[in-house]
Amino acid sequence: MGEVYRARDLRLDREVAIKVMAPHVASDPEMRRRFETEAKAVAALSHPGILSIYELVVVDGVPVAVMELLEGESLRQRLRRGSIEWREAVRIAAAVSEGLAAAHAKGVVHRDLKPDNVFLTSGGLVKILDFGLALQRLDTETLPATMARTVQGTILGTFGYMSPEQVLGERVDGRSDVFAAGCVLYEMLTGKPLFSGATPQEIIASVLHDTVTNVDAFDPKSPPELRAIDSRTFSFPASRCR
Read off φ and ψ for residue 139, nearest 5 degrees: -65, 135
234 touches 179 (CB < 8 A): yes
Give the β-pairing of 118-121 and 72-74.
antiparallel
**Could you tell me where the beta strands, DSSP code E, fall in the chain?**
2-9, 14-21, 53-59, 62-68, 72-74, 108-109, 118-121, 126-128, 135-136
What single-letter DSSP state applies at residue 144? -
Bridge partners (DSSP) of residue 136 are 108
CA angle 196, 202, 205 (to 5 degrees): 100
> What radius of gyration do the chain's Cα atoms show?
18
Question: In 107-233, where does DSSP find H-type helix?
Answer: 145-151, 164-167, 174-190, 200-209, 224-232
For residue 60, indicate whether it is catalytic: no
- CA dist., res. 145 & res. 134, Å (int): 16
Q: Rounded to the nearest 10 degrees, how much is the dihedral formed by the CA atoms of 167, 168, 169, 175?
A: -60
- Catalytic residue, candidates 13, 28, 60, 112: 112
Residue 169 CA, distance from chain mean position: 17
Active site residues: 112
